[in-house]
Chains A and B, each alone.
Chain A
Amino acid sequence: MRSLSLYVKRNSLIHKIDPLTKIIYVFVSVISPFIMPTLMFAFSLTLINLLLLLLAKVIKRVIPIISFVFIIILTIFVIQGMFYGANQTKLFTIFNLSFYVEGILYAAKISVRAINVLLAFSLLILTTPPAEMIESLVRRGMPAKLGYIMHSVLQIIPMMSSNASIIMDAQRARGMETEGSLWVRIKAFIPLIGPLVMSSLVNTHERSIALEVRGFSAATKKTFLHQEEVPGGMKQLRVFFFLFLTAVLAWRLVL
C-alpha cells in the first residue's frame, strides 16, 4: 500500500545509521542554536547539516522542503531591518525607508537558525523510513498503541485523499459547483468533507473490531517483526552528541 513519506532510498553512510542516533543528532542540532544564540554558531551547524545532506546524496530533495521558507525570510529581513527594537546604526535608505545593521543581523540570525532546523529535520526525514523511526521509538519505550496510531496515519492519509478526489468527482457529477465566487466555493466545502468523514467514521468501527479480534488490547508483552540493526560505534556517537549539548549549555552559562 502507498504510504506517506519523503524517504529517499540511497546507499550512503547516513542511511546506515540507526534512527535513534539520527533523532538524537537532530534534537541536538536543532536545540543548540537556541541555547547559544550567535550567528556564527548557527551558521556552523547549518554548514555541518549541508555537508551531511551532501554525504547522504539527498541534497537536491531538500530544495522543495525548504523553498517555502525564503518568502518568510525575505519579509523578516524587511520588517526587522526597519523596526527591530535595538536598531541604531543606519545601513542604507531606499524610498525614505531606513534599514539598520542591528535589525539585519537579528534577521540573519533568525533565518539561519530556521534554515538549520529545516536542514536537520530533512536529514532525518529523507534518510529514514517513517516506519523504522516509529519502530525504533516503540523499542525505547514509546507505547505500542501510539506506534500503531502513527503507522496507521501514514496509510490512512493516502487512502483518504484518494477517497477525497472520488467524492469531489461524484459531487461535481451531481451538479455541485466548485468554481466561481467565494460564497459558491464555501458552500461546496461541507458536501465534500461530510461524506468523507461519515464513511471514515463508519470504517473506524469495523477497524476497531478487527483489531480487537487480533488481540490488540491484550495485556501481554508485544514482540517485533523485524530485528533492529545498529552499526558499531553508535553508542559512542550518541554519548558524543549529549556531551556536545552539555558543552553548549556550559558555554552559555559561562558567557
Chain B
Amino acid sequence: MRNDQKKSLWSFNFSTMALVLIPVSIGINYVGKLFAQTLRLPLWLDSIGTILAGILAGPWVGAISGGINNVIYGLTISPVSFAYGITSVAIGITAGVMARMGFVKNMKRAVIMGVVIAVVSTIVSTPINIIFWGGQTGNIWGDALFGILRSANWPVWLASGLDELAVDLPDKIATTIIAYIIYKGLPKRITVLFEES
C-alpha cells in the first residue's frame, strides 16, 4: 500500500484498501435494501454502503461506489438504475465531503448530513425524473402529491422536486443515521485502515 504519500481530501490515488472497500460498500447497499424488504420497512435504505464509503474513505471512493453501484444494478437487476447513477455519485461525494467537515461527530450533525444528502439527491434526481417519467417518481405517495400540485397548476419542476423530496427526505435521513451508527460501532482498528493521511 502506498500510504507514504501525502493525501488530500480530493486525492485520486487510491490505496488497495480503498479499492476493495468499493465492492463491499455496493454489497452493503444491496443487503440494506434486502433487509428493508424482508422487514417490510417503508423505505429503500439502498445507499447505506455508498454513504459509509464516503465517510470512511472520502468523497472519491464514495462517488465511485455510487456510480458503479448503479451501473452494476443496471446490468444485472433493473436497467432504469443507469439513469440515476449521477444521483448516487452525488450522494457519495456529499457524504465524503460532509464527513470530512465533521458531520459524523454526533447524532445531531448526522441528521443534518442526512437532510443535506436528501436535498442534493432531490436536486440531481428531479431533472432525470422530468426527462424520463415526465416528473413522477413511481412512489405512490410522492406521485399523489405530484398529481395534487399539478392539478393546482404548480410548475412541473417544483411539483416533481417536492414529489422526489417527499420520498427522499425520510429515506436519506434514515440511511444516513444507520450509516452513522454503523460507523460509530466500527473498531478503530478497521476505520484507521481507510483513513487518508
A positions within 8 Å CB-CB of B = 4-6, 34, 65, 68-69, 71-72, 75-76, 78-80, 82-83, 85, 106-107, 110, 113-114, 117-118, 121-122, 125, 130, 133, 145-146, 148-150, 152-154, 156-157, 159-161, 164, 168, 178, 182, 185-186, 188-190, 192-194, 196-198, 200-205, 207-208, 211-212, 216-217
Interface residues on B, range: 35 or more
Task: Tell me if A's interface is mostly helix, strand, loop or mixed.
Answer: helix
How many inter-chain residue pairs (CB < 8 Å) link A and B?
178
0/1 interface trace, chain B 1-43, chain A, CB 8 Å (1 if under): 1100000000000111101111110111011101110111110
Check A157–B27 contact: CB distance below 8 A. Answer: yes
Task: Tell me if B's interface is mostly helix, strand, loop or mixed.
Answer: helix
3 closest cross-chain pairs (CB), A and B: A121-B79, A83-B150, A160-B27
* Most chain A C-beta atoms within 10 Å of own C-beta, residue among B32, B68, B134, B151: B134
Of the 9-residue stretches B69-77, B90-98, B103-111, which lies at the interface with chain A? B69-77
Choose one: B19, B20, B35, B78; the contact of A193 (CB below 8 Å): B35
A164 — which chain B residues lie within 8 A by C-beta?
31, 34-35
Closest beta carbon of chain A to B70's beta carbon, Å: 11
B positions within 8 Å CB-CB of A = 1-2, 14-17, 19-24, 26-28, 30-32, 34-36, 38-42, 45, 48, 52, 64, 68-69, 71-72, 74-80, 82-83, 131-134, 136, 138, 143, 146-147, 150-151, 156, 178, 181-182, 185-186, 190, 193
